Amino acid sequence: MATAAKRYTTFNAHLRQLFGDRVYKVSVDAGFTCPNRDGAKGIGGCAYCYGNRTETSLIDIPTLQAFIRQGVVAVGRKYKASKFLIYFQSYSNTYAPVEQLAVLYRAALAEPGIVGMSIGTRPDCVADDVLDLLEELAQETYLWVEYGVQSVHDATLDRIKRGHSFAEFVNAVERTQQRRGINICAHVILGLPGETREQMLETARTLSRLGINGAKIHSAHIVKETEWERLYERGEYRPMELPEYVDTVCDFLEHLAPDIIVHRLIGDTLRIRYIAPAWCLDKNEALKAINAELERRDSWQGKLLER
């Protein structure tokens, strides 16, 4: 079983073990856009994405530093924390010339209290020179790259307009694994339009075989100004309600390798843009329900995974 307290390997527990303390993320929007927005791969973005920035215009370093310092003070006060990970979260955070990325990442890492960094991006957005840079940084700090993949099924990726294939994800993972010290997290969405439970479990098994280090699992949900909003309004798509999600995510965990660190089991949502389902807004209750279901099943991460 993953830990005595939890039936899956949590990111918080992992960080506590590594740093001897709780570590919190400070999120940064550094001004990137995304190839699925600026026309390189697409213009409308993924079907669930509400970001509408179409040009990369990186913030300058003093602005970045001020932003991080504000975040560190706010998060530090809220959680009485003194160690932080910088999380380049918004859009595709490797989508700029590598020289600019180097300056940006290094400036972020130089801020007081920062013990590591996590970079969210797309699998088709990491050229070799970017991976070389990440490898260099990984020798100096604790580093994650987070690839959005969402599903291992190309038909699903087409349906949600990701603009990349599963093979491109595998290629990014393999090239990242050839570098030293970079931890790889895959983002997955459960409840995507047209996906069966078995397909979702296939995603868990396939990611387990790939040997990634972490997974961030989100429940599909509807936000304003997205293609999904239109589908939802026309009654053509309904995301899962809580009981179905709990059942599905527990199945998913049972098929996920126990050494994959679970960064998240439910997505964070921006209330101002949020439409449905309502249960996603009460993350604590949903997590309680997931833990209770694992308990009821007497089950844990990887229990049903055959290797």
Instruction: Name which of 37 and 264 has its Cβ closer to ligand SF4.
Output: 37
> How do strand 261-264 and strand 222-223 relate by DSSP bridges?
unpaired
| Rounded least distance, CB 96 to ligand SF4, Å | 14
Exactly one of 31, 45, 71, 239 binds ligand SF4 (CB under 6 A); that residue is 45
- As measured in angstroms, the least distance from the Cβ of 171 to ligand SF4 is 16
**Count of residues that interact with ligand SF4, criterion CB under 6 A:** 11
Question: CB under 6 A: which stretch of 30-38, 104-112, 230-238, 283-291 binds ligand SF4?
Answer: 30-38
Which ranges of the chain does DSSP label H, i.e. alpha helix?
11-19, 61-79, 98-109, 128-138, 154-159, 166-177, 197-210, 227-233, 242-254, 283-297
Tell me how far apart the alpha carbons of residues 75 and 78 are, in angstroms, rounded to a whole number. Answer: 5
Q: Which of 23, 161, 129 is nearest to 79 (CA)?
A: 23
Largest CA distance in the chain: 52
Please state the length of the chain: 307
Q: Which is nearer to ligand SF4, 114 or 192 (CB)?
A: 192
Cβ nearer to ligand SF4, comparing 14 with 218: 218
Residue 42 CB, shortest distance to ligand SF4, in Å, is 7
**Shortest approach of ligand SF4 to residue 122 CB, angstroms?**
5
User: Which region among 18-26, 44-52, 73-81, 177-185 touches ligand SF4 (by CB under 6 A)?
Assistant: 44-52
Which pair of tokens denotes residue 120? 């969210």
Looking at beta carbons only, is 92 or 219 nearer to ligand SF4? 92
Minimum Å gap between C-beta 293 and ligand SF4 is: 29
Compose the 115-154 pattern: x for residues touching ligand SF4 by CB under 6 A, - for all others: -------x-------------------------x------
Q: Which residue among 15, 23, 49, 157 contacts ligand SF4 (CB under 6 A)?
A: 49
Residue closer to ligand SF4, measured from CB, 45 or 113: 45
> How many other CB atoms sit within 10 Å of the CB of residue 59?
16
Residues within window 51-80 making contact with ligand SF4, judged by CB under 6 A: 51
Bridge partners, residue 116, by sequence: 85, 142
171 exposure class (CB count in 10 Å sphere: 0-12, 13-18, 19+): middle
Q: Is 172 in the site for ligand SF4 (CB under 6 A)?
A: no
Nearest to 197 by CA among 138, 247, 139: 247
SS3 186: strand
Query: 111, 115, 119: which is closest to 65 by C-alpha?
Result: 111
Q: Which residues have C-beta within 8 Å of that of residue 123, sequence separation ≥ 6?
A: 147, 148, 149, 164, 168, 169, 171, 172, 173
At closest approach, how far in Å is the CB of 150 from ligand SF4? Answer: 9
Q: Which lies closer to ligand SF4 via its Cβ, residue 157 or residue 201?
A: 157
In one letter, which amino acid is 282? Answer: D
- Residues within the interface to ligand SF4 (CB under 6 A): 34, 36-37, 45-46, 49, 51, 91-92, 122, 148
